[in-house]
């Protein structure tokens, strides 16, 4: 038997049992729309790639990381003792930030292409859920080195759930493992970060990706309006896949450059008695929500100040709920008026995020 005939025999043996032929047929039939906005289709794939980098570098960090009282010392060891440990930690931190960025780009491109409309509502909901989980990933991972910055970031961050009436303090204490951020907090954030979150995130991500296969890429309404003969598309295999992989390589290069030229810093070990360091501020992706809460709190001053915090959280939550429910009040209607309203909402959201982030950085003391 020649190598080729052996390969054919093995393939048909596996194919009979797993139905690879159907998969291959599906992959060949799959197409991706080609138009002026096609560039934005890559951002979901880039986010996926960066998530895979997170998994990979995360497991590598897990090899030496020790949660609990020893957390800072183990991160110091990874950063300064283990060969290339600084690079792996830096790659993990940088790709987390790049992933948040690409997820946001992905979300806004979906929003403005109206890709949340029927039948893709579940794609939008699962995507928003993934974004929420990614934020919790970011928040919990930020504490793990237990340096000054992570200590105070967690301390301040947990004041937000604590402001919820009645149940808030209970929730905050459960998250913290006591009334203050301590080694108990880092231990449970660790469990959250490496076990609970991946266990929820990965199946949800699989669902999200399955939906993309089921419904295909959405084209923007301007494309949908064109007659079928004028719409262009390219095969997924291999044309789009090759371009997708090229994007992955570009992402890898950007990540490698950032991680090695700007290695992620490790601050001083946390000290519950030390004052907060000057210039402390939330990560950029938490800056806008923080600043919005602060500004909404300022609206209610004087005697209403106590109400302000709660009102801020309420208004902020309402905004997120409105954003989440967009498929319901901007369905696929012939009349463009509602669609335009949703468009303005999106523009307003971007404007609000940029302005509050700018104010946040402007007012760092």
Partner 1 sequence: MTEQFPIEANEVHEVEPVETGRRAFLGVAAGVAGLCYVGALAYPIYRYLDSPSEMALGAAAVTEVTLKDAQKLPTGSVLMFKFGSSPAMLIHHTDGRWISLTAVCTHLGCTVQYEPDADRIHCACHGGVYNPYTGANVSGPPPKPLKAYKVTVGAADVTVSRA
State the first-to-last Cα distance of the chain, in angstroms, to the nearest integer. 75
Q: Is residue 28 part of the contact set for partner 1 (CB under 8 A)?
A: yes
Taking alpha carbons only, the member of 150, 153, 112, 104 closest to residue 130 is 104
Q: Is residue 225 part of the contact set for partner 1 (CB under 8 A)?
A: no
| CB closer to partner 1, 36 vs 83 | 83
User: Binding string to partner 1 for residues 239 to 258, with x set by CB under 8 A, is what?
Assistant: x---------x--x---x--
Task: Answer yes or no: are the C-beta atoms of 200 and 140 closer than 8 Å.
Answer: no
Which of the 8 DSSP states describes residue 340? H
| CB closer to partner 1, 81 vs 222 | 81
Task: Answer yes or no: are the C-beta atoms of 40 and 113 closer than 8 Å.
Answer: yes
| CB closer to partner 1, 249 vs 314 | 249
Binding residue (CB under 8 A) for partner 1 from 81, 213, 332, 363: 81
Binding residue (CB under 8 A) for partner 1 from 85, 141, 157, 360: 85
Q: Is residue 17 part of the contact set for partner 1 (CB under 8 A)?
A: no
Angle ∠(200,203,205) on CA atoms, nearest 5? 100
Determine the interface stretch with partner 1 among 76-84, 94-102, 113-121, 132-140 (rule: CB under 8 A): 76-84
Q: Is residue 9 part of the contact set for partner 1 (CB under 8 A)?
A: no
Rg for the chain, CA atoms, rounded = 24
Judged by DSSP in three states, 365 sits in: coil
Whole-number minimum distance, CB 101 to partner 1, in Å? 22
Q: Is residue 237 part of the contact set for partner 1 (CB under 8 A)?
A: yes
Task: Answer yes or no: are the C-beta atoms of 191 and 177 closer than 8 Å.
Answer: no
Q: Is residue 238 part of the contact set for partner 1 (CB under 8 A)?
A: yes
Strands (E), the chain: 31-34, 232-235
Judged by DSSP in three states, 234 sits in: strand
Cis peptide before 67 (omega within 30 of 0): no
Structure tokens at 44: 């979901």
Number of H helices, E strands in the chain: 17, 2
Q: Is residue 87 part of the contact set for partner 1 (CB under 8 A)?
A: yes
Whole-number minimum distance, CB 262 to partner 1, in Å? 17
Dist. CA 109–CA 105, nearest whole Å: 6
Whole-number minimum distance, CB 51 to partner 1, in Å? 17
| CB closer to partner 1, 253 vs 317 | 253
| CB closer to partner 1, 53 vs 293 | 53
Binding residue (CB under 8 A) for partner 1 from 177, 198, 235, 331: 235
Q: Is residue 39 part of the contact set for partner 1 (CB under 8 A)?
A: no
Binding residue (CB under 8 A) for partner 1 from 75, 88, 93, 218: 88
Q: Is residue 134 part of the contact set for partner 1 (CB under 8 A)?
A: no
Determine the interface stretch with partner 1 among 30-38, 148-156, 233-241, 317-325 (rule: CB under 8 A): 233-241
Q: Sort 335 into a burial class: Cβ within 10 Å, 0-12 / 13-18 / 19+.
A: exposed
Sites for partner 1 among residues 44-73 (CB under 8 A): 60, 63
State phi, psi for 269 to the nearest 5 degrees.
-60, 145
Dist. CA 365–CA 361, nearest whole Å: 9
Dist. CA 100–CA 94, nearest whole Å: 10
| CB closer to partner 1, 181 vs 259 | 259
Whole-number minimum distance, CB 229 to partner 1, in Å? 19
Positions that interact with partner 1 (CB under 8 A)? 8, 11, 28, 60, 63, 81-85, 87-88, 235, 237-239, 249, 252, 256
């Amino acid at each position: 038997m020649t190598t080729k005939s052996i390969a054919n025999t093995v393939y048909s043996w596996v194919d009979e049992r797993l139905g690879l032929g159907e998969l291959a047929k599906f992959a060949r039939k799959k197409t991706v729309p080609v138009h002026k906005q096609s560039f934005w289709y890559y951002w979901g794939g880039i986010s996926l790639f960066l998530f895979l980098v997170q998994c990979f570098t995360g497991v590598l960090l897990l090899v030496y990381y020790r949660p609990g009282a020893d957390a800072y010392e183990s991160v110091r060891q990874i950063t300064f003792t283990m060969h290339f440990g600084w690079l792996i930690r830096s790659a993990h931190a940088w790709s987390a930030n790049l992933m948040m960025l690409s997820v946001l780009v992905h979300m806004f491109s979906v929003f403005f292409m109206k890709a949340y409309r029927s039948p893709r509502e579940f794609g939008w909901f699962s995507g928003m859920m993934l974004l929420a989980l990614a934020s919790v990933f970011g928040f919990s991972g930020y504490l793990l080195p237990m340096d000054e910055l992570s200590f105070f970031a967690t301390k301040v961050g947990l004041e937000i759930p604590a402001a919820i009436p009645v149940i808030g303090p209970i929730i905050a204490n459960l998250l913290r493992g006591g009334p203050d951020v301590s080694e108990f907090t880092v231990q449970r954030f660790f469990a959250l970060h490496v076990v609970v979150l991946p266990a929820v995130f990965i199946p949800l991500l699989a669902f999200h990706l399955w939906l993309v296969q089921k419904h295909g890429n959405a084209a923007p309404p301007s494309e949908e309006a064109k007659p079928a003969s004028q719409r262009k598309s390219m095969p997924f295999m291999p044309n789009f896949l090759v371009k997708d992989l090229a994007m992955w390589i570009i992402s890898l290069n950007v990540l490698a450059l950032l991680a090695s030229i700007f290695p992620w810093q490790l601050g001083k070990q946390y000290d519950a008695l030390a004052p907060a360091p000057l210039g402390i501020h939330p990560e950029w992706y938490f800056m806008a929500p923080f600043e919005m809460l602060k500004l909404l709190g300022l609206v209610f001053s004087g005697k209403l100040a106590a109400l302000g915090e709660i009102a801020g959280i309420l208004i902020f939550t309402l905004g997120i709920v409105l954003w989440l429910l967009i498929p319901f009040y901007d369905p696929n209607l012939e009349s463009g008026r509602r669609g335009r309203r949703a468009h303005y909402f999106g523009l307003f959201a971007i404007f609000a995020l940029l302005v509050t982030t700018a104010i946040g950085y402007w007012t760092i003391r």
